Structure 1
Amino acid sequence: MRKILIETAMITGVLMAGLTASQAANATPLSVAVQSAATDPRADVKIDSKIMVERTEASESGETVTTLVDPATVKVIPGDTLLFINTYRNTGKNAVTGFVVNNPVHSAVALIEVLEDWALLSVDGGKNFGKLPDLTVTETVAAATEEQAGETAAPVQTTRPAVASDVTHIRWVLPSPIAAGASGELRFRGVVK
Structure 2
Amino acid sequence: MRIILLEAALVAGVLITGLSASQIAYAAPDALVLKGAVDPQADVKIDSSIRVERTEISATGESVTTLHDPASVKIIPGDRLLFTNSYSNLGQNAVTGFVVNNPVHSAVSFVEALEDWALVSVDGGQNYGKLVELSVADATGDMRPAGTADVTHIRWVLPSPIASGASGELRFRGTVK
The TM-score, its normalising length taken from structure 2, stands at 0.92
**Are residue 164 (structure 1) and residue 158 (structure 2) matched?**
no
> What is the SS of the residue equivalent to 1:78?
coil
From the superposition, tell whether residues 86 and 128 of structure 1 become closer, same or farther in structure 2 (CA, over 3 Å).
same
**Are residue 117 (structure 1) and residue 111 (structure 2) matched?**
no
> What is the SS of the residue equivalent to 1:25?
coil
2:10 paired residue number: 10
**Are residue 32 (structure 1) and residue 26 (structure 2) matched?**
yes
More strand by share: 1
What aligned pairs does 1:52-63 form with structure 2 within 5 A after superposition?
Answer: 52-63=51-62
**Are residue 64 (structure 1) and residue 59 (structure 2) matched?**
no
C-alpha distance in 1 between matches for 2:14 and 2:94:
37
Sequence identity (%): 65
The CA deviation string for residues 26-47 of structure 1, in whole angstroms up to 9 with x for no partner, is 8x95131231458211110010
C-alpha distance in 1 between matches for 2:14 and 2:99:
27
What amino acid sits opposite 2:7 in the alignment?
E
Any runs of at least 4 consecutive aligned residues in structure 1 with deviations exceeding 4 A, and if so which? none
> What is the SS of the residue equivalent to 1:179?
coil
Cα RMSD (Å): 1.6
**Are residue 189 (structure 1) and residue 177 (structure 2) matched?**
no
2:127 paired residue number: 128
Give ranges in structure 2 of 5+ residues lacking alignment.
none
1:175 paired residue number: 159
C-alpha distance in 2 between matches for 1:77 and 1:25:
17
Count of residue pairs brought into register by the alignment: 172
The TM-score, its normalising length taken from structure 1, stands at 0.84
C-alpha distance in 1 between matches for 2:69 and 2:55:
14
- Is the CA contact 1:120–1:129 (under 8 Å) kept in the aligned structure 2? yes
Structure whose alpha-carbon radius of gyration is higher? 1
- Is the CA contact 1:9–1:29 (under 8 Å) kept in the aligned structure 2? no
C-alpha distance in 2 between matches for 1:66 and 1:10:
25
C-alpha distance in 2 between matches for 1:122 and 1:110:
13
The CA deviation string for residues 162-181 of structure 1, in whole angstroms up to 9 with x for no partner, is 11121000000000000000
